[in-house]
Structure 1
């Protein structure tokens, strides 16, 4: 994988970890929080997407409509399941399991369904990244760890949605040649249109949610689309079987911030896992 592509994905990983940390500070209604940052993201991305349409760099056709619609449904499922997990379990567990499950499933289906064939060294790097993620997570099934079970379940469910939208979005931008910014702007627009009628049924609670979560909403609204547009751009020049695990290096940043901000433990183990992840990144870079 070219160094420039690796840099894109690593920048996306850092942005992804930061917006997940911000979302942990969410207070109040989960659905309205997801709705608010989705609409804010759409407002930020739509002008750029429309400019690309006006310059004919992206055609407004059925591929863009269908691709965005399927992606919107998958991303809504991901956002709601992720946020529900954060409400019910430790960030370190939910985030770690989700970001470990997602790339493993993505790698498997990319090789089987998309017939991608990364090199042996690159696949070794991908497996090292997944191994490092598992080290960061630790033995979640150890004695007395019953409190982590909900986090494992929510994290695994989130990981399944990650694999689903990653594979679909990779197909959309590579096989259908959809411009990443226009494609994701369309996805955000449709997410907002789907979520808004349900949000308006709770309109009396919207002002309180916006006041309580102004900063997290803004951080997620900016960093979430930025992170994913960088990933979509990287997919144009590298196989998704490698992009997916490399992207999950965000777990290292997320795990350290969870220790620092939320007083979660096992810092030494998380450092060891981070070193393994970095070794995997180096192998993919070759």
Structure 2
């Protein structure tokens, strides 16, 4: 499996989509409600497509169901992270730690062999991503709480990425796996929020259902592209490359959310770009 220029560009597009739906959540008035709307939106968008695409192979279902359970925890820790701090602090921490964990898990669990250049690229991308948070003037009294949620989120990202990487290779067709995963994934979290805050959630959905549909579509496409790429290239390389979404998130948070963009963030972006070059060696 090889990370070709074409696959690289497609993953970078997925990274832009991922940063966009996260910014959609962070820019709203209620992070929990908007996260639930995005999760439900993915279910709604995927539902009619299930009439065209059959279920994935039976061997992939244990992975599919496990991933759905892990995603409930992912959404909860995502909400906790964004409630505790700015997007330009929490988002890089969540996404920066995950590639290193995926690389380690991939080498042990999937027995993927990475070249020294790829390890260097992964380390450079992760280091650049994390520096966007810790070295960019984001430290404050509440940083410990943000880091706690972000670390938990990163661990869940790494675990469900490995689960889905194995599952999609058992599915026989990446599109089938992604659509059924998206359909099943959104329901448990949305129903949980509906149970917790029924009237508020219904009222919020009536006003902002478009946010859920757009975010759900972006979420499904972003992760679907990444899973497809994992059938073509090493999981760790794909996982690292898709986390370049933090570069897009940095500009989105600066220009749309009015969060501070510093010189150190440019340095972090340069490290990430250097890591991309190393991955392509």
Determine if the TM-score, normalized by the shorter chain, exceeds 0.5: yes
2:141 is matched with which residue?
Answer: 146
Partner Cα distance (1:62, 1:125) in 2: 36
> How many residues get paired?
278
Note the 1:180-195 alignment, pairs <5 A.
Answer: 180-195=174-189
1:111 is matched with which residue?
Answer: 107
Note the 1:244-255 alignment, pairs <5 A.
Answer: 244-255=239-250
1:140 to partner: Cα distance: 7.9
Note the 1:92-111 alignment, pairs <5 A.
Answer: 92-111=88-107
Unaligned runs of 5+ in 1: none
2:41 is matched with which residue?
Answer: 40
Partner Cα distance (2:280, 2:188) in 1: 39
Change (3 A) 1:152 1:192: closer
Partner Cα distance (1:136, 1:228) in 2: 23
- For 1:258, which of 222, 237, 253 is the aligned residue? 253
1:119 to partner: Cα distance: 1.5
Q: Considering only aligned residues, what root-mean-square deviation do their CA atoms show, in Å?
A: 2.2
Note the 1:82-93 alignment, pairs <5 A.
Answer: 82-93=78-89
Change (3 A) 1:215 1:87: farther
Are the aligned partners of 1:140 and 1:148 in contact in 2 as well (CA < 8 Å)?
no
Partner Cα distance (1:26, 1:244) in 2: 27
Change (3 A) 1:49 1:8: farther
Partner Cα distance (2:34, 2:210) in 1: 11
Change (3 A) 1:192 1:227: closer
Partner Cα distance (1:73, 1:211) in 2: 27
Are the aligned partners of 1:125 and 1:282 in contact in 2 as well (CA < 8 Å)?
yes
Unaligned runs of 5+ in 2: none
Partner Cα distance (1:232, 1:118) in 2: 18
- Three-state SS of the structure 2 residue aligned to 1:262 is coil
Are the aligned partners of 2:78 and 2:153 in contact in 1 as well (CA < 8 Å)?
yes
- Normalised to the residue count of structure 1, the TM-score between the two structures is 0.88
Superposition misfits of 4+ residues, deviation over 4 angstroms:
none
Partner Cα distance (1:8, 1:224) in 2: 15
Deviations 1:64-88 (A, max 9, x none): 4322211111112111210221122
Instruction: Judge which range, 183-192 or 198-207, deviates more.
Output: 198-207
Partner Cα distance (1:232, 1:43) in 2: 20
- For 1:10, which of 6, 9, 12 is the aligned residue? 12
Change (3 A) 1:278 1:272: same
Change (3 A) 1:263 1:29: closer
